[in-house]
Amino acid sequence: MYRVTLIPGDGTGPEITEAVRRVLEAAGVQFEWDVQNAGEDVYHQEGNPLPDRVLESIKRNKVALKGPITTPVGTGFRSVNVTLRQALDLYSCLRPCKTYKGAKTRYENIDLVIVRENTEDLYAGIEYQKDSEGAKAIIDLVKNISDKSIRPDSGISIKPISVFGTERIVRFAFEYARKNKRRKVTSVHKANIMKFSDGLFLEVSREVAKDYPDIEFEDKIIDNMCMQLVQKPELYDVLVLPNLYGDIISDLAAGLIGGLGLAPGANLGGEYAVFEATHGSAPKFKGLNKVNPLAMMLSGVMMLRYLGETQAAEKLDTAIASIIKEGKHVTYDMKSKPDDPSAETTSGVADAVISKITK
Ligand code: NAD
């Protein structure tokens, strides 16, 4: 019996999470779910979208399965997802992207692993609003210590990238590559322009790579990486990236394998692990029992593997693969036309997966 924190999330999160809970139990593993709500509704009820009880629960249970949580754009509360990763020091975001046979996609045989740094970079949340004391102080400081100037009507976001943060994420990528028999790690950056932040990321990547002579290492500039992934994705294997590029490339890679409905993920740190899909809360579909639960189910497969429940993980993965291959009980996003009347519902996908598992 595993005690796992279950965060249903908001938007379409609760319906997807429920589908995933059901298939995980059908895979034959016993869970005691410690359900903890967080997100927009909790913000309105409790004044904080991520109350301490949620973090305490994850600290107690060490493992969590999380639905997506909405972040207001531009204004409003800071991202619960980012805060959670920082508060629990879940420094690696692991996002495998591989094509399942039968998935509607322009590419075949994609097998990429995105390793995204999860705590630093422009996601650090060190920001100063236009006209704030902080923004003014930074504008003055920059004027005093350099020959550059920042326009007085600027908002400012700071991009810290450290040796410590980079070393551990690049090491994680190499260790993952070694353990999973992957051939190459590509470090992605924009070190030609941001010489002291991305430049440091590249320098540390090169240093760490020396400890792994059995694995090929190369680096790519982010803009070129985007083009390469669209044109010849088969050349790439494990990609390690700073936070923001990792976020963007995760969605690009999801596009290569048939969409966000198929892209799973895990946030891992030294002590805790939070499993969640790459996609967000898709709020326009809230309550419609319509969106694809497979990305979160595949995150559940990752969780089973993490827990050492290899057999159950295989069983669930195989059932999901055969549902995708048959193409019958899949949601609208996996049909050739999004308005296909034969599109399966979220809960219907769970039913179909469960019937495969228990056959
Ligand atoms: P999104 O991932 O929710 O949606 C992007 C597109 O993909 C939309 O067209 C959506 O309908 C579709 N989509 C997403 N998940 C799907 C699924 N399971 N099945 C079928 N289609 C799916 O991204 P967004 O619209 O940019 O963000 C919505 C909200 O989610 C925002 O508030 C954002 O901050 C938040 N978000 C949360 C997380 C997280 O919880 N980790 C991650 C990304 C975005």
Tell whether 98 is covered by a domain.
Answer: no
In this structure, the answer to whether residues 236 and 293 fall within a common structural domain is no
Percent of the chain with pLDDT over 70: 100
Average pLDDT over residues 92-108: 95
In this structure, the answer to whether residues 314 and 191 fall within a common structural domain is no
pLDDT at 19: 98
In this structure, the answer to whether residues 1 and 71 fall within a common structural domain is yes
Quote the domain boundaries for residue 181.
106-123+160-257
In this structure, the answer to whether residues 321 and 229 fall within a common structural domain is no
CATH number of the domain within which 195 lies: 3.40.50
In this structure, the answer to whether residues 15 and 70 fall within a common structural domain is yes
Tell whether 99 is covered by a domain.
Answer: no
Confidence of residue 229 (pLDDT cuts 50, 70, 90): very high
In this structure, the answer to whether residues 113 and 48 fall within a common structural domain is no
In this structure, the answer to whether residues 117 and 225 fall within a common structural domain is yes
Tell me how many domains the chain contains: 3
From 281, 288, 330, give the residue whose CB has the most ligand 1 atoms within 8 Å, as the site to mutate.
Answer: 281
In this structure, the answer to whether residues 114 and 210 fall within a common structural domain is yes
pLDDT in tens, 307-352: 999 999 999 999 999 999 999 999 999 998 889 999 999 999 999 9
Tell whether 284 is covered by a domain.
Answer: yes
- Does the pLDDT of residue 75 top 80, yes or no? no
In this structure, the answer to whether residues 110 and 252 fall within a common structural domain is yes
What is the model's pTM? 0.96
pLDDT at 215: 98
Task: Determine contact, residues 101/324, Cβ cutoff 8 Å.
Answer: yes
| Catalytic entry in 131, 211, 223, 340 | 223
3-state secondary structure the chain: CEEEEEECCCCCHHHHHHHHHHHHHHCCCCEEEEECCCCHHHHHHHCCCCCHHHHHHHHHHCEEEECCCCCCCCCCCCCHHHHHHHHCCCCEEEEEEECCCCCCCCCCCCEEEEEEECCCHHHHCCEECCCCHHHHHHHHHHHHHCCCCCCCCCCEECCCCCHHHHHHHHHHHHHHHHHCCCCEEEEEECCCCCCCCHHHHHHHHHHHHCCCCCCEEEEEEHHHHHHHHHHCHHHCCEEEECHHHHHHHHHHHHHHCCCHHHCCCEEECCCCEEECCCCCCCHHHCCCCCCCCHHHHHHHHHHHHHCCCHHHHHHHHHHHHHHHHHCCCCCHHHCCCCCCCCCCCHHHHHHHHHHHHCC
Average pLDDT over residues 127-151: 97
- Does the pLDDT of residue 247 top 90, yes or no? yes
The atom of ligand 1 lying closest to the CA of 282 is: 3
In this structure, the answer to whether residues 113 and 222 fall within a common structural domain is yes
Last residue of a domain, one of 233, 257, 281: 257
CATH number of the domain within which 347 lies: 3.40.718.10
In this structure, the answer to whether residues 211 and 267 fall within a common structural domain is no
pLDDT at 40: 86
247 is an active site residue: yes
By mean pLDDT, which of 47-51, 73-77, 171-175, 288-292 is the weakest? 73-77
Average pLDDT over residues 4-30: 97
Confidence of residue 73 (pLDDT cuts 50, 70, 90): confident
In this structure, the answer to whether residues 330 and 284 fall within a common structural domain is yes
Residue whose CA lies nearest to ligand 1 atom number 25: 282
